[in-house]
Amino acid sequence: MTGSLEKLQKLFKAERLLNEIKDADVLLERILTEARAISNADAGSIYVIEDKQPSAVPSPVFTREESIYGDKLLRIKYAQNDTQQKKLAADAKSPYVYFTVPITKTSISGYCACTGQILNIPDAYHIDESEPYKFNSSTDISTGYKTVSMLALPLVTSAGQTLGVLQIINAKDEDGNIIAFSDDATEYIKQFAASVTQTLEHTYLTSNMIKRMQRMAEFRDPKETGIHVERVSDFSLEIYDQWAQNHAIPKKEKLKFRDTLKIAAKCHDLGKVGISDTILKKPGPGRFTPEERAIMMGHTCVGAKLFTQPESEIDEMSRDVALHHHEWWDGSEAGYPGKIDFMSYEIGCPIQKGEPMKGDEIPLSARIVAIADVFDALSHRRVYKEAWSIDDAFIEIQNLSGKQFDPELVLAFLQVKERIISINAAYERMEK
């Protein structure tokens, strides 16, 4: 009875915490974490539904009436493994994982998506041959990990649409021995998945709204693609996580900030919708006249105006990021727009920069996005330049530490170099 009560308490606490999250990606990561905690599982992964061909606003759902050979697939979004994590340095994250799975009945996750059924597998290496699905042992072979028990279930909305698949691995008893997932554990996770799916639907609504705004900006400035924005958002989260760990930021504060940052980072260049095509699309290095450059700088104020009369912390941080992600840490005149009344800025006019901002005067969120944005711009081709090598882009960020960028954030950025490289490579595969 005590064990059941503890599980219920974990369930209620997890549901309450998850309801506070606004970003879909952050929520997915927490769903996996909390599901593992409820079932005392050593590892797990969470898959999302994605279109095979990227679209302006992807539809993150799959209905079982659709052909299993349709235009969607499952992509692993997050993977967690306590055993593997213990092999890493105390302050290191697990390697970034990327692969896709077709939505067919031949894989465990694909079967769940196709059928809507929960699979409780006591031993992944001894699945009855009559079953259509098989366990893919390639990850075990490459990592040396041994998967035994598995519990996989689809995240299904009340309308019957599948948003993804939750897969948790190797349940443990009180002594740390691997056991099968009990019927009680299965029921708790089933209830948990049902309760969080509605929250996940709401975060997708927010996500799609932001994607539409990104698409609008992309129509105006083709070089600033939606993929660029997503990369900057992902890089920003990695930088913040490491910085927060370096500074022992309390867990509750960290979780709240990173949730907001993930969304706000995507809004850093929305103000470019207010810049004329003759400037935005002007090609070639050194392409702007001084007046045109001053007009281009106005995108910071336009972006901030989109979030005036903020109604939430997301609005406030999005405004800060849009307005201040081009400030320089050392207060150099190269930074902009400085201490300015952005509401008085007239769209289409050259900006009149204010007194430079420097150091901690610049909001933390904007200082983080500044690094992510410049790194991504350097390491990818633009109409006015070729892409730098990844190593050269890292060196340039390091060279600008204490000048353009907050040195403590640069340190955090360098500490997560391998994850940044892995994320960048994953996005390259997505674009192919």
pLDDT, the chain, mean: 87
Q: Give me the pLDDT at residue 223, please.
A: 58
User: pLDDT category, 10, cuts 50, 70, 90?
Assistant: low
pLDDT in tens, 34-59: 999 989 999 999 999 887 754 434 45
pLDDT above 90 for 405: yes
Q: What is the DSSP letter of 404?
A: T
- pLDDT value for 60: 54
Which stretch of 65-69, 218-222, 298-302 has the lowest confidence by average pLDDT?
65-69
Half-sphere exposure of 230 (CA within 13 A, CB side): 21
* Measured torsion, CA atoms of residues 265, 266, 269, 270, in degrees rounded to the nearest 10: -130
Q: Are 229 and 45 in contact (CB under 8 A)?
A: no
What single string gives the DSSP state of each residue in 226-291? HHHHHHHHHHHHHHHHHHHHHTT--HHHHHHHHHHHHHHGGGTTGGGGGS-HHHHT--STT---HH
Per-residue pLDDT, 144: 92
**Helix (H) and strand (E) counts for the chain?**
16, 8
Q: Is pLDDT above 50 for 427? A: yes
The tokens of 301 are what?
């104020």
Query: Tokens for 260?
Result: 């907001």
For position 375, what pLDDT does the model report? 97
Predicted pLDDT of residue 325: 98
Q: How far apart are CA 234 and CA 373, in angstroms?
A: 11
- Give the ranges where 107-169 is alpha helix by DSSP (H): 108-115, 138-143
Euclidean distance between CA atoms 353 and 393, whole angstroms: 28
User: Cβ(49)–Cβ(74) under 8 Å?
Assistant: yes
- Give the mean pLDDT of 184-199: 88
- Which residues 6+ apart lie within 8 Å of 243 measured at CB? 368, 408, 409, 412
Token pair for residue 358?
């420097």
* Residue 265, number of CB atoms within 10 A of its CB: 29
Structure tokens of 18? 């998850």
Judged by DSSP in three states, 170 sits in strand
Quick one: angle between helices 364-379 and 313-324, nearest 10?
50
Q: What tokens does 256 get? A: 């709240």
For residue 385, is pLDDT > 90? no
The answer to whether residue 234 scores a pLDDT higher than 70 is yes
Q: Give Dmax over CA atoms of the chain in angstroms.
A: 74
Residue 154 backbone dihedrals phi, psi, to 5 degrees: -80, 150
Is residue 128 classed as helix, strand or coil in its secondary structure? coil
DSSP assigned state of 160: S
Band of pLDDT at residue 66, cut at 50, 70 and 90: very low
What's the burial of 89, exposed, middle or buried (CB within 10 Å: 0-12/13-18/19+)? Answer: exposed
Name the DSSP class of 199. Answer: H
CA 384, chain centre distance (Å): 28
What does the radius of gyration of the chain's CA atoms come to, in whole angstroms? 23
| Proportion of the chain above pLDDT 70, given as a percent | 88
pLDDT band at residue 69, thresholds of 50, 70 and 90? very low
* pLDDT given for residue 7 in this prediction: 58
Predicted pLDDT at 225: 64
- Is residue 201's pLDDT more than 70? yes
pLDDT in tens, 317-327: 999 999 999 99
Question: Distance between CA 305 and CA 345 in Å, rounded?
Answer: 9
Residue 194 neighbours by CB distance under 10 Å? 14
Dist CA 371 CA 375 (whole Å): 6
Are 255 and 312 a contacting pair, CB within 8 Å? no
Query: Using an 8 Å Cβ cutoff, are 199 and 21 in contact?
Result: yes
Give the mean model confidence (pLDDT) for residues 186-198.
Answer: 87
What percentage of the chain exceeds 90 in pLDDT?
Answer: 60
What pTM, to 2 d.p., does this model score?
0.81
